[in-house]
Amino acid sequence: MKPKKPPTKRSKKGAVVSQTRVHLKITGIVQGVFYRATTHSTAERLGLKGWVRNLYDGSVEAVAEGEESVVNELIAWCRKGPSGAVVDNVDVRREEPTGEFTGFRIRY
């Protein structure tokens, strides 16, 4: 079986748009301040696919796929977070997009 090719998209003008996937781990005061919920709504507004969840160590983890420039917008937002959050670090791991997601969800 051949490996699945990463999805490609075209802009309205027909140009190929670069897709990317990131795996994020956000540390600091990021639980109990609506960080997960606000990440979810921000990613949906941006049209990204993937998920976000709280981890037992107090951090937040997220995977997002979409157009590279839009994913970079989410990363920039994650570095600030919602009011009440104090973000110490955002670890960004770039990965090959898989196209496995149909929307952006909160995982529990």
pLDDT at 13: 64
pLDDT at 17: 79
Question: Is 54 tagged catalytic?
Answer: yes
Catalytic entry in 10, 21, 36, 53: 36
Q: What is the model's pTM?
A: 0.86
* Residue ranges, the chain, pLDDT below 70: 1-16
Question: Is 36 tagged catalytic?
Answer: yes
Catalytic entry in 53, 54, 72, 105: 54
pLDDT at 31: 98
- Sign of the Cα pseudo-torsion (61, 66, 72, 73, in order): negative
Task: Give the list of residues 6+ apart from residue 65 with CB closer than 8 angstroms, or none.
Answer: 19, 20, 21, 48, 49, 50, 71, 97, 98, 99, 101
